[in-house]
Chain A
């Protein structure tokens, strides 16, 4: 790449002035007249038949415009909601419609919608809708869900089992035969509730005579929403426009096409006026999908010297009441559970079951934090079994730099990586040797310090198109349009749809370097299906590796065309023209340069460009990479555990991450901070708890503990840079890395702190209560 000015610079985000002054445009902020407000009557029952819905009293309430039950509108939907085959094409996936008709299957499932002239009127009327249910026994336990006699959630399937699938390679029996050390462990991935601070919200505006639908939605995936609105509502795709305005966080929770998008659009279509629905937090915690909710049973074969031989694992996945759009993506955890280590055999089994709980789908990391948690807990357990230092066990088993690109057992090929490098740096930062001494000293004084490591790899940047289509049925690539205007200003359109990641800034950085334009002359647009050909949106840490690369490539195409026009204007051969810093000149005569602004003008005066050339200065790219990208890193968490209270305090958190070339290090670090905090939240605080009655017990922010500033330390971050060879800008992804590493690092630290008490494992969240009990189970005595 040419001399770079913008890429690599911590440029302040252009998104921010609006947001810090309260003039951003989130869905609920958009001006709109003539609105009807939608309130949704949701099931309070986890599993029940709908006996009757009485709406007459509600219809009399002030301000009511219309009320529709599931039966009233079911026929309007021309297909069920989308489910991708992701990794498990032969799974059982029952049809889910946006609204229930005969039966409800989780608390929060929509059963009727109320439209009124104000939000308050809609809510008041919704309370007057009387629904009679005939309760059925709820299924709330992953393993019991598939026992014989379990209550059937989808009777027509005849089972609560969606799939039972295998991902295996190598001779696992031989690995266990060869082993001196064998051990088993169950690892619990509790249910998490994503809690973007902005809930979801939708405004839909259907115009009857034009047959057009415009939808504003707080979503990560406006392009997917557009396609499926068209399909389900039977409106030509060309007549549907979806806009994701400012979106207040997603973390995977806005990656699905949701019932409410269809319901709001349908209501607008029925009423012939715009309709608004804004999710409140109470709804959000039940109606927006949850994450994790898995059990991992692992068996390990290893040698006394710490060499890992094989891993056998069963991943139990709680899909919730339906198979969500990407509900089976989480089995990717099995595909990458090998982590940064060599082993001879891997035997993975994934069992997906239905329960009467909110459906699960992607939550930051989606399958990869689970995989890292598995292999990193295994490394620490192996260290405990062998008496070796956890650092040594990792070093012994690391895939070496020289082995990259490394093809793992299940056939995926890591693009690049140097795991020793990030670990070495992290150990140095934390002062590992000294810290171990301090730990020993403190233990003598009754203070329990714990040091936890996680050396992770991550698969992200979803494409390549063929691989993602084979795995998930969705062909994923990056898209950009780079357009020079008459005055030499540029518009960049991307197919990704940010919700806090700062693409308006970072994508402009990428384009600025190629075009040699001042960054403030480049505008970046996104999140509107009307502005570009198509997009694959934002999730899976994919935006920079795919859409960012597409921006680079479109900018290169524009630059090449600009050179051709310049050669024509300069009456020189194209090979003799140099393009640098937004100026084109004949080699050796930089003083006679013409600027990109002058070239842009010429591009629109078609008499001035070479014969046969199209006017305009614009390029579109669909970028399909040859591989995924594979960030990696080493995180070290230091905790202190209070024996009297069981409280865990994070004393230090050190991380060295390698996401290849960093476009904007400030933004990269910000992604890591937030990601690490979410993993810490899982490790220490968060849990979506359902009772046996199928009710969500931690269904408010009073009960579901999102980390506060007081729960967290400042983070100490460093980076190494191993460029990815699979895209020309050398980038990997960083949106999820923090979360992928941190829950494992924190739990390893806690277990390390509790080592004197003979503790080998603790379930997340490691609440003070759990920690206290583990420390006091032998009357508080150390081993």
Chain B
């Protein structure tokens, strides 16, 4: 009953025999071992499982692994370049856009798509754009700020603004 499925995740080719009913999110977590993509519901509401499939942000719990045959997938683990965070990751850190961090990978993947489609979104557009991702910790306030900051940084390619909190690492 198992079927062979191959796909590229964060530039690496993965080939596995899977049950046809296996959801992509489990495939990513258990077969590819990329546990940054989380699971927060069973009704496609929470967005914790959001990844990018062929350039579209998708809730990976809504797709069977076999449907992603041949796909190019990016997960949260694929965003940073070496030690350099993606500007959205950096902005979430700078603006305190996370608390427990469980929603964060999905939230960042959703934000990435949002900014690709609309590089300079208004607050309302940001709020509507991440409506499919639930966060129970932050009240979204700093998530919105983080996306605004990322939008500015990505537009100018510049570093962070001075007003952000002190970095002590």
Task: Say how far B126's CB is from chain A's closest CB, in angstroms.
Answer: 7
Are the C-beta atoms of B140 and A11 separated by less than 8 Å?
no
Q: A9-B166, A10-B165, A702-B43 are in contact. Are A20 and B134 (CB under 8 A)?
A: no
Question: Would you call B75 an interface residue if the criterion is a C-beta within 8 Å of the partner chain's C-beta atoms?
Answer: yes
In whole angstroms, what is the CA distance A281 to B41 when docked?
A: 5
Question: Would you call A633 an interface residue if the criterion is a C-beta within 8 Å of the partner chain's C-beta atoms?
Answer: no
Q: A12-B165, A197-B48, A670-B99 are in contact. Are A715 and B141 (CB under 8 A)?
A: yes
Specify which of B34, B41, B127 lies most central, judged by the most chain A CB atoms within 10 Å of its CB. B41
Q: Which residues of B contact A583 (CB under 8 A)?
A: none
Are the C-beta atoms of A22 and B123 separated by less than 8 Å?
no
Are the C-beta atoms of A20 and B100 separated by less than 8 Å?
no
Question: Would you call B36 an interface residue if the criterion is a C-beta within 8 Å of the partner chain's C-beta atoms?
Answer: yes
Task: Say how far A278's CB is from chain B's closest CB, in angstroms.
Answer: 8
Q: Which residues of B contact A18 (CB under 8 A)?
A: 101
Question: Would you call A21 an interface residue if the criterion is a C-beta within 8 Å of the partner chain's C-beta atoms?
Answer: yes
Question: Would you call A581 an interface residue if the criterion is a C-beta within 8 Å of the partner chain's C-beta atoms?
Answer: no
Specify which of B19, B136, B139 lies most central, judged by the most chain A CB atoms within 10 Å of its CB. B139
A1-49 at interface with B (beta carbon < 8 Å): 9-24, 26, 28-29
Question: Would you call B149 an interface residue if the criterion is a C-beta within 8 Å of the partner chain's C-beta atoms?
Answer: no
Are the C-beta atoms of B99 and A197 separated by less than 8 Å?
no
Are the C-beta atoms of B127 and A249 separated by less than 8 Å?
no
Q: Which residues of B contact A409 (CB under 8 A)?
A: none
Residue from the list A247, A676, A701, A707 in contact with B46, Cβ < 8 A: A701
Residue from the list B40, B45, B102, B123 in contact with A714, Cβ < 8 A: B123
Give 12 pairs: A residue, B residue, CB < 8 Å, sorted on A.
A9-B166, A12-B93, A16-B92, A21-B36, A195-B134, A196-B102, A196-B136, A249-B99, A499-B100, A670-B137, A671-B99, A708-B131
Q: Which residues of B contact A671 (CB under 8 A)?
A: 99
Q: A22-B34, A26-B38, A195-B136 are in contact. Are A247 and B165 (CB under 8 A)?
A: no
Residue from the list B43, B98, B138, B165 in contact with A701, Cβ < 8 A: B43
Are the C-beta atoms of B144 and A248 separated by less than 8 Å?
no
Question: Would you call A386 an interface residue if the criterion is a C-beta within 8 Å of the partner chain's C-beta atoms?
Answer: no
Closest to A17 in B: B93
Are the C-beta atoms of B100 and A246 separated by less than 8 Å?
yes
In whole angstroms, what is the CA distance A14 to B168 when docked?
A: 8
Are the C-beta atoms of B139 and A712 separated by less than 8 Å?
yes
Binds A, one of B52-60, B62-70, B77-85, B151-159: B77-85
Q: Which residues of B contact A52 (CB under 8 A)?
A: none
In whole angstroms, what is the CA distance A547 to B93 when docked?
A: 25
Question: Would you call A673 an interface residue if the criterion is a C-beta within 8 Å of the partner chain's C-beta atoms?
Answer: yes
Are the C-beta atoms of A706 and B136 separated by less than 8 Å?
yes
In whole angstroms, what is the CA distance A500 to B133 when docked?
A: 18
Residue from the list A9, A19, A673 in contact with B138, Cβ < 8 A: A673
Task: Say how far B153's CB is from chain A's closest CB, in angstroms.
Answer: 14
Q: A26-B38, A29-B35, A197-B40 are in contact. Are A248 and B93 (CB under 8 A)?
A: no
| SS class, residues of chain A in contact with chain B | loop
Are the C-beta atoms of A22 and B40 separated by less than 8 Å?
no
Q: Which residues of A contact B126 (CB under 8 A)?
A: 709
Are the C-beta atoms of A709 and B130 separated by less than 8 Å?
yes
Closest to B95 in A: A666
Question: Would you call A157 an interface residue if the criterion is a C-beta within 8 Å of the partner chain's C-beta atoms?
Answer: no
Q: Which residues of B contact A9 (CB under 8 A)?
A: 165-166
Task: Say how far B60's CB is from chain A's closest CB, in angstroms.
Answer: 13
Interface contacts beyond A520-B168, A675-B139, A701-B41: sample of 15 additional A-B pairs, CB < 8 Å, sorted by A: A14-B169, A16-B101, A22-B35, A22-B36, A246-B102, A249-B102, A500-B137, A666-B96, A667-B96, A670-B99, A677-B140, A678-B136, A700-B42, A701-B43, A710-B128
Q: Which residues of B contact A248 (CB under 8 A)?
A: 38, 100-103
Are the C-beta atoms of B136 and A670 separated by less than 8 Å?
no
Q: Which residues of B contact A519 (CB under 8 A)?
A: 168
Are the C-beta atoms of B99 and A502 separated by less than 8 Å?
yes
Taking residues whose C-beta sits less than 8 angstroms from the other chain, chain B's interface range is 35 or more
Closest to B99 in A: A500
Question: Would you call A501 an interface residue if the criterion is a C-beta within 8 Å of the partner chain's C-beta atoms?
Answer: yes
B107-161 at interface with A (beta carbon < 8 Å): 108, 123, 126-128, 130-144
Q: Which residues of B contact A676 (CB under 8 A)?
A: 139
Q: Which residues of B contact A29 (CB under 8 A)?
A: 29, 35
Are the C-beta atoms of B127 and A709 separated by less than 8 Å?
yes
Q: Which residues of A contact B19 (CB under 8 A)?
A: 120
Task: Say how far A475's CB is from chain B's closest CB, in angstroms.
Answer: 28
Q: Which residues of B contact A407 (CB under 8 A)?
A: none
In whole angstroms, what is the CA distance A20 to B21 when docked?
A: 30
Task: Say how far B55's CB is from chain A's closest CB, in angstroms.
Answer: 19
Are the C-beta atoms of A22 and B43 separated by less than 8 Å?
no
Task: Say how far B161's CB is from chain A's closest CB, in angstroms.
Answer: 14
Q: Which residues of A contact B99 (CB under 8 A)?
A: 249, 500-502, 670-671, 674
In whole angstroms, what is the CA distance A195 to B41 when docked?
A: 10
In whole angstroms, what is the CA distance A705 to B167 when docked?
A: 36
Residue from the list B35, B98, B166 in contact with A10, Cβ < 8 A: B166
Are the C-beta atoms of B92 and A20 separated by less than 8 Å?
yes
In whole angstroms, what is the CA distance A675 to B136 when docked?
A: 9
Question: Would you call A305 an interface residue if the criterion is a C-beta within 8 Å of the partner chain's C-beta atoms?
Answer: no
A176-220 at interface with B (beta carbon < 8 Å): 195-199
Task: Say how far A458's CB is from chain B's closest CB, in angstroms.
Answer: 18
Question: Would you call B9 an interface residue if the criterion is a C-beta within 8 Å of the partner chain's C-beta atoms?
Answer: no
Residue from the list B42, B89, B101, B130 in contact with A500, Cβ < 8 A: B101
Q: Considering the complex of A and B, which 3 residue pairs feature the smallest CB-CB distances, nearest first?
A: A22-B36, A248-B102, A19-B101
Specify which of B22, B103, B126, B168 lies most central, judged by the most chain A CB atoms within 10 Å of its CB. B168
Closest to A120 in B: B19
Question: Would you call A645 an interface residue if the criterion is a C-beta within 8 Å of the partner chain's C-beta atoms?
Answer: no
Task: Say how far A711's CB is from chain B's closest CB, in angstroms.
Answer: 9
Question: Would you call A251 an interface residue if the criterion is a C-beta within 8 Å of the partner chain's C-beta atoms?
Answer: yes
Question: Would you call B73 an interface residue if the criterion is a C-beta within 8 Å of the partner chain's C-beta atoms?
Answer: no
Question: Would you call A782 an interface residue if the criterion is a C-beta within 8 Å of the partner chain's C-beta atoms?
Answer: no
Question: Would you call A60 an interface residue if the criterion is a C-beta within 8 Å of the partner chain's C-beta atoms?
Answer: no
Are the C-beta atoms of B40 and A198 separated by less than 8 Å?
yes
Are the C-beta atoms of A22 and B105 separated by less than 8 Å?
yes
Q: Which residues of A contact B133 (CB under 8 A)?
A: 709
Specify which of A10, A21, A667 lies most central, judged by the most chain B CB atoms within 10 Å of its CB. A21
Are the C-beta atoms of A197 and B103 separated by less than 8 Å?
yes
Q: Which residues of A contact B136 (CB under 8 A)?
A: 195-197, 249, 251, 674, 678, 706
Residue from the list A24, A28, A500, A674 in contact with B139, Cβ < 8 A: A674
In whole angstroms, what is the CA distance A424 to B169 when docked?
A: 39
In whole angstroms, what is the CA distance A13 to B19 when docked?
A: 41
Task: Say how far B22's CB is from chain A's closest CB, in angstroms.
Answer: 8
In whole angstroms, what is the CA distance A467 to B99 when docked?
A: 31
Question: Would you call A280 an interface residue if the criterion is a C-beta within 8 Å of the partner chain's C-beta atoms?
Answer: yes
Q: Which residues of B contact A15 (CB under 8 A)?
A: 101
Closest to A251 in B: B136
Are the C-beta atoms of A12 and B167 separated by less than 8 Å?
yes
Q: Which residues of B contact A56 (CB under 8 A)?
A: none
Question: Would you call A282 an interface residue if the criterion is a C-beta within 8 Å of the partner chain's C-beta atoms?
Answer: yes
Specify which of A249, A502, A712 lies most central, judged by the most chain B CB atoms within 10 Å of its CB. A249
Are the C-beta atoms of A670 and B101 separated by less than 8 Å?
no
Q: Which residues of A contact B94 (CB under 8 A)?
A: 12
In whole angstroms, what is the CA distance A248 to B46 when docked?
A: 13
In whole angstroms, what is the CA distance A28 to B25 when docked?
A: 13
Are the C-beta atoms of B168 and A12 separated by less than 8 Å?
yes
Q: Which residues of B contact A710 (CB under 8 A)?
A: 127-128, 131
In whole angstroms, what is the CA distance A676 to B141 when docked?
A: 11
Q: Which residues of A contact B46 (CB under 8 A)?
A: 197, 281, 701
Q: Which residues of B contact A13 (CB under 8 A)?
A: 93, 96
Residue from the list B21, B96, B102, B139 in contact with A715, Cβ < 8 A: B139
